[in-house]
Chain A
Amino acid sequence: MTSFNVIRWILWKDFVTELRSRETISSMVFFALIVILIFSFSFSMDQQAAREVIAGIMWVAFAFTGIIGLGKSFSTELQNDCLEALQMVPEAKGAIYLGKVAANFAFMFVVEILLFPMFVILFNLEVVEEISLLLLVFFLATVGLSAIGTLFSALTVQIRAREVMLPILLLPLVVPVMIAAVEATKGALNGDPLAMYEQWLELLVIYDVVFTVVSFWMFEFVMDS
């Protein structure tokens, strides 16, 4: 089995598990809806105020739901000692990492696409013109979150208090993603010219590349036993 096949099988396995159990995506979407609800109670907003803070609310909701998905990604592998089985895969451990990143990315991205219309409706946003740019922002930021999140999901799964430790370790490290995603989303929602928030997209690309490489390398050390 080549490394490419390992990636494919991991991805396939996670998709099939998700299709049969429907646990991850449904819990993520439901949790995000509750977050949106809490936010709309916390700030009483008119349309003008909503435009200012909506990008921030959106990414807080996405990051929190992403952490739920990331946590489940490896904790499901604890059942029936699947994690040990993964550690025994003879191919490079990086292949497992890439497969898991792809699966986590897919779940988070789907949830974001499902949630975005909710934001538009519930916060009375105007119809967005720059939808393709917005999708690009979602894509780049989600790659960054899942690249580093998958590493820490694998790392925290074998320690005590893992549900607490994953966000505690992950959130400070994704500060650049959060800032860049919020600023770029704000720009795209307001229909600002691209030149005004281009640098945030560049920052996201740099972050994605750097942390995919670093996490890919570090994953070997997480998995060796």
Chain B
Amino acid sequence: MTIHRVIRNVQRFEGWFGGGAVLCLVAGLYLGLIGSPPDYYQGEVVRIMYIHVPLAHTSLLGYTVLAVGSLWYLWKRDPIVDNMCQAVAALSAVFTALALGTGMIWGKPTWDTWWTWDARLTSFTVLLLILIGYLMLRTFVDDPEKEARYGAILAIVGFVDLPIIHFSVEWWRTLHQPQSISMRGVSISSGLLMPLLFMSIGMSLLFSYMLMVRTQLLYLDRLLHAKKGRLLSQFHLSKSDS
């Protein structure tokens, strides 16, 4: 059995992504923690933004990849696409949870509360719930083909739902109380922009690298199971022959 063409390419290029992620993250962290000035209003606290915002962006990017991959799976029914979907869903869930976590840590000194039912917080929470639901759904299906298909359906429906959830939550909040804080009014100066840019690219590269490794792992796991099944059946056949 030969290794899938996609996996061989992934194996060839993953090192570049991993190395690029390390370089960008180191540069971004240096610029963010040491090289950039503290914020006029928030002081040193603002530095958590360099982690929080890239995490949030990357998790949304991950969900987009999941939706595209799911559509692709329903179209072509290629199991390797499903391996990628499973990998990206787990990673997006982790990144979403980390984005929420860092957001809470940031919220405590700036908004003076760990949690507020702000529009963006709420829609990210719903996103996390959908991703956890997706991962749970996959563990409850026995047949691998069905698992992939059902997961893809949920991912696509959820992707269509996300903008509607976001708008409904935003209306709901703005009708009740003014948003606690708005980033829109604050224009980001170039001193803050550079580390943010590096961290965003670095985080996306890190995400891609982890995705490549995890997809490989899931693919090889599936290959192993198939091979084990084949060997076992050969073993039984040879025993019944003799």
- Chain A residues with CB under 8 Å of chain B are 148, 151, 155, 158-161, 165, 168-169, 172-173, 175-176, 179-180, 183, 199-200, 203, 206-207, 210-211, 214-215, 218, 221-222, 224
Contacts and interface: CB of A to CB of B under 8 A. Distances in A.
Given A160-B142, A214-B156, A222-B153, A179 B169 contact: yes
B169 A148 contact: no
27 contacts: A148-B157, A151-B153, A151-B157, A155-B153, A158-B146, A159-B137, A159-B146, A159-B150, A160-B142, A165-B140, A168-B133, A168-B136, A169-B137, A172-B133, A173-B130, A175-B169, A176-B168, A179-B168, A179-B172, A180-B168, A199-B171, A203-B167, A210-B160, A211-B161, A218-B153, A218-B156, A222-B150
**Chain B interface category by residue count:** 20 to 34
Interface of B: 74, 126, 129-130, 133, 136-137, 140-142, 146, 149-150, 152-154, 156-158, 160-161, 164-165, 167-169, 171-172, 175
A60 B168 CA distance: 17
B134 to A, nearest CB: 8
A159 B153 CA distance: 14
A175 B165 contact: yes
A221 B153 contact: yes
B164 A218 contact: no
A199 B164 CA distance: 13
Contacts of A176: 161, 164-165, 167-168
Contacts of B140: 159-161, 165
A168 B129 CA distance: 8
Contacts of A206: 164
Contact of B157 (A159, A173, A203, A224): A173
Contacts of B152: 221
Nearest to A222: B153
Contacts of B158: 172-173
The 10 closest A-B pairs by CB, nearest first: A176-B168, A172-B129, A160-B140, A159-B140, A169-B133, A218-B153, A176-B164, A179-B168, A159-B141, A179-B172
B154 A169 contact: yes
A222 B150 CA distance: 7
A210 B153 CA distance: 15
A214 B168 contact: no
A207 B164 contact: yes
A215 to B, nearest CB: 7
